[in-house]
Structure 1
Amino acid sequence: MALQSINSDSPLANLVKQKRAFVEIQDLYELLGVPRDATQDAIRASYFSLAKLLHPDVVARQADNLLQQEAAVVFKAISGAYGILSDRRRRSEYDRLHADGFAPVEDRTKRDAASEAKIFAHKGSLLMDRRAYAEADACFRKAVELDPTNASYQSDLGLAIMNNETLPLGPRMEEAKTWLEKAVELSKREKPDILFALSQYFKLKGETNAQRRLLTETLRLNNRHIGAQREVRLLAMRSRGQVDLFESIKKWFDKVSGKKK
């Protein structure tokens, strides 16, 4: 339920407005008005004190409908908060989950943005598996916007753009290269998956030497990197195939020229 505007300046209205804000951020300690190291007795006393003020029967005698509705939300919330904080196991679990959940607003905002970025990145990865590259592109762009310091998101965005055929080929390849190179720089060339992603760009561009150098770097960091091992084998097969083709052409030419080996 969204926080509604309460115009009254009565003590009850001010109390409801104050506690309603803590309902929104789910801070149970502030909701009950006790410190985080409060004893069980202090928690119980604070709860009953608030319950006497905010009980629906009490509020109904001194408030309009809007204030009654908001007070009901707060009353339900403080009852739930008491149920958790008065139970040692549930309180311990709540404290564990919110160990840093009451940091300054700026820190909390950064953490929330990073968490949201992770969700978009995960969704983008699932879309990549389904070859839904345009949708994956949009998800990774959002992840990078929310967490611009994550090299893996930038690399994944580069791959999504590179495969997004709804974009013109030339511009999309240039933008893909930009993101892939940014990711490599940001990761300080220390993440094999990011180096491998850039190697795939050079593969599509037909720049074999650049691709081979990046594959070598990838395997130096992780000699069991499956993708890099596969690409190295393909390059070797292609190289052998070119040699075999050259030998076949040479033999044919020698034959038609009447030369004997």
Structure 2
Amino acid sequence: MPPLMDRTSELIPTAQGDLVKTPLAHLIVFIADKKLTGSLVLHGDDGSTSTLYFSTGAPAKVKTTYPGTYLGRVLLQLGYIDDELLESTVLEMQQTGTLHGQLLRSMGAIDEAQLVAGLREQMMRRILKIFEKVGDVTTYAFYGDINLLDDFGGRELTPMDPYRVVWEGMHVRPNDPSIDPTLARLAAAPIGINTNADFRRFGFGPPEGKVIELLALRPMSVAQVLDLNIMPIRQLKLLLYVLMITRGIVVVPVQTSAPARKPQASEPAVVAPNAPPDSSRTGSEAAQASRQAVPMARVKLKKVAASSTVTPMALSPQDIQQRASQVDAESYFEVLGVDQNASPDVVRSAYFSLAKQWHPDRLPDSYHEVRDDAAKVFARMSDAFQTLSDPDKRAQYVEALEKGGTNKDEQAKVQQVIEATIEYQKAEVYLRKHDLGKALRSAQKAYEGDPEQSHHLALYAWVLSQQPEAQQSKDFETSLRLLDQAIKLDARCEQAFFYRAMLNKQLGKHASALRDFKQVVELNPRNIEASREVRLATMRGGAKALADEKPTSSERTKTKPGASESINWTQDSVSDIFGKLFKKK
């Protein structure tokens, strides 16, 4: 009997439609939110077929007719096997019919964790290819509680967070026609973050974290967000689009000056702050918004009143410095000003009140000398919130307190990682300004302060190679070695592959450079420079050279199991700086 996926004509789909009415990202979010189990089949007008099996809302297995990277090549790129083993086992696989991953496992060439990491990386690449290739005329059918891929590949399932899949998938569709119309529905309405959303699931980086942090401080319209100049406009639109369809952002009711309802006898009389009227609303809608705004204002005022914290602007610079010098000695409960039995809602309320007061961007210009001190206090508050709002982390923290306090070394590492991230950002700025001396000093501090961050290491290697003496002698040996290490830390580090390609190009190692440029394009099809290099090399016959040349020993980097899971919001907190410190161990 043919495999089940070849007999879909015999099955009745639970739901069906096309991607014009329901874009792929929306489909995945819907399946995730409903925690559905079943198979999603996509049929393209080009004759392509892609099948995604979901287990309790998470994509766990994928098959597509689009060309992609087979498992052995993925394991090679991850550094788990070398070329010779790849070539020999491909022959044996063809002769015996054994699946490549199973063959390598039976030989002891890879362990179970490496196999799962390879399968997960291969699955993500397949999904990204589907996102890249599907068009509006693609049709879909969902078959509930049926695994059409049960007979495909091995028995292993590698579930991935669907929100992470949507975020990475939409990166290959930055000009998707559904983005602008979706955002247009928000018009000029103020938006803020959904405090119940778990932003760690997306795998956001520091720029996205900064946008979310600012939205947590104050609601903004889409136009105001696009004016932040933190990321390119298209990237900001992409972020808002993904947050909107996953309900990570919400429309904040506008408070108006319309007459408010009378408070009940049991309620204190509170007058909502005046705000400009929303001209897009009718009189009845404005009145309704005003009625809704009064109790919201009352709750907010109560929360603020409950906090005894003094805003930094009411303190002298010396007071801020003193607070910064003492904050590491305080428990997380003391930092947020809550008792040890405080509920998650109280913790959240305290944190957001403090964030509005202590965020460094809210300091007056005259306080520039103590901005880093305020940032230290704010970082400690963010650490406290991330720990106390997570039940498991909170339990571990309370247990540590009861045993006599938290690890002072970990507290020191908090500050070290924060400072490393600040130096990394400085290095990027100096590099853009072509101030190579300052860029090198900051990049080196970032790398030494947090050597586990692959992008810190990659930037340091690149800045080192751009120094005049290195450029004159073309001595890139140290930089190439550091870039190899960065890829070993994170096999999806786009920066490291790109920088290594650029250096190999300078050295005349065109095949090696082309191999890395192709990897960059596979990781990020929007990298214009890498795409151009691949296109030009192919036109000049570079593709043949790439096929003929085997990787050098320095390119056969060995990655630790799970290294492809870089520091991101699947594990991290609101900022790439802080969540890393509180990963479950």
TM-score normalised according to structure 2 size: 0.26
Q: Which amino acid aligns with 1:114?
A: V
Change (3 A) 1:94 1:128: same
Would the aligned equivalents of 1:219 and 1:228 in 2 still touch at CA under 8 Å? Answer: yes
* Structure with the greater alpha carbon radius of gyration: 1
Change (3 A) 1:111 1:227: farther
The one-character-per-residue Cα deviations of 1:157-207 (angstroms, maximum 9, x if unpaired) are 1110111115574485222112111111211x2222321111011011111
Once residues 487 and 341 of structure 2 are traced to their aligned partners in structure 1, the CA distance between those partners, rounded to angstroms, is 46
Aligned with residue 478 of structure 2, among 175, 183, 205: 175
Can you give the 5+ residue segments of structure 2 that lack an aligned partner in the other structure?
1-317, 356-380, 389-396, 398-405, 543-585
Name the structure, 1 or 2, with higher relative contact order (CA <8 Å, separation 6+).
2
Would the aligned equivalents of 2:461 and 2:480 in 1 still touch at CA under 8 Å? Answer: yes
Once residues 500 and 339 of structure 2 are traced to their aligned partners in structure 1, the CA distance between those partners, rounded to angstroms, is 52
Task: Answer yes or no: is 1:117 the counterpart of 2:377.
Answer: no
Aligned with residue 197 of structure 1, among 472, 494, 499: 499
Q: Which amino acid aligns with 2:497?
A: L
Q: Percent identity?
A: 21
* Offset of residue 38 of structure 1: 7.2
Q: Which amino acid aligns with 2:515?
A: R
Corresponding residue SS for 1:148 = coil
Match of 1:93 in 2: 353
Match of 2:533 in 1: 231
- Alignment of structure 1 residues 212-223 onto 2, 5 Å: 212-223=514-525
Would the aligned equivalents of 1:152 and 1:183 in 2 still touch at CA under 8 Å? Answer: yes
Once residues 22 and 207 of structure 1 are traced to their aligned partners in structure 2, the CA distance between those partners, rounded to angstroms, is 51
Aligned with residue 340 of structure 2, among 26, 36, 48: 36
Q: Which amino acid aligns with 1:24?
A: Q
Match of 2:460 in 1: 157
Q: Which amino acid aligns with 1:222?
A: N
Task: Answer yes or no: is 1:140 the counterpart of 2:450.
Answer: no
Paired positions, count: 174
Would the aligned equivalents of 1:114 and 1:146 in 2 still touch at CA under 8 Å? Answer: yes
Change (3 A) 1:116 1:172: farther
* Offset of residue 148 of structure 1: 0.8
Q: Which amino acid aligns with 1:93?
A: S
Once residues 201 and 152 of structure 1 are traced to their aligned partners in structure 2, the CA distance between those partners, rounded to angstroms, is 17
Match of 1:131 in 2: 434
Task: Answer yes or no: is 1:106 the counterpart of 2:409.
Answer: yes
Q: Which amino acid aligns with 1:217?
A: Q
Q: Which amino acid aligns with 1:212?
A: L
More helix by share: 1
Change (3 A) 1:24 1:207: same
Q: Which amino acid aligns with 2:411?
A: R
Change (3 A) 1:130 1:91: closer
The one-character-per-residue Cα deviations of 1:41-66 (angstroms, maximum 9, x if unpaired) are xxxxxxxxxxxxxxxxxxxxxxxxxx
Once residues 417 and 447 of structure 2 are traced to their aligned partners in structure 1, the CA distance between those partners, rounded to angstroms, is 10
Q: Which amino acid aligns with 2:467?
A: N
Aligned with residue 211 of structure 1, among 510, 513, 516: 513
Q: Which amino acid aligns with 1:115?
A: I
* Offset of residue 126 of structure 1: 0.7
* Offset of residue 111 of structure 1: 2.0
* Offset of residue 226 of structure 1: 1.8
- Alignment of structure 1 residues 44-59 onto 2, 5 Å: none
Once residues 412 and 447 of structure 2 are traced to their aligned partners in structure 1, the CA distance between those partners, rounded to angstroms, is 16
Match of 1:186 in 2: 489
Once residues 94 and 198 of structure 1 are traced to their aligned partners in structure 2, the CA distance between those partners, rounded to angstroms, is 43
More strand by share: 2
TM-score normalised according to structure 1 size: 0.55
Would the aligned equivalents of 1:161 and 1:172 in 2 still touch at CA under 8 Å? Answer: no
Once residues 91 and 119 of structure 1 are traced to their aligned partners in structure 2, the CA distance between those partners, rounded to angstroms, is 22
Change (3 A) 1:25 1:171: farther
Match of 2:244 in 1: none
Aligned with residue 25 of structure 1, among 311, 327, 333: 327
Can you give the 5+ residue segments of structure 1 that lack an aligned partner in the other structure?
3-19, 40-84, 241-261
Once residues 169 and 22 of structure 1 are traced to their aligned partners in structure 2, the CA distance between those partners, rounded to angstroms, is 45
Once residues 92 and 223 of structure 1 are traced to their aligned partners in structure 2, the CA distance between those partners, rounded to angstroms, is 37
Once residues 173 and 166 of structure 1 are traced to their aligned partners in structure 2, the CA distance between those partners, rounded to angstroms, is 10
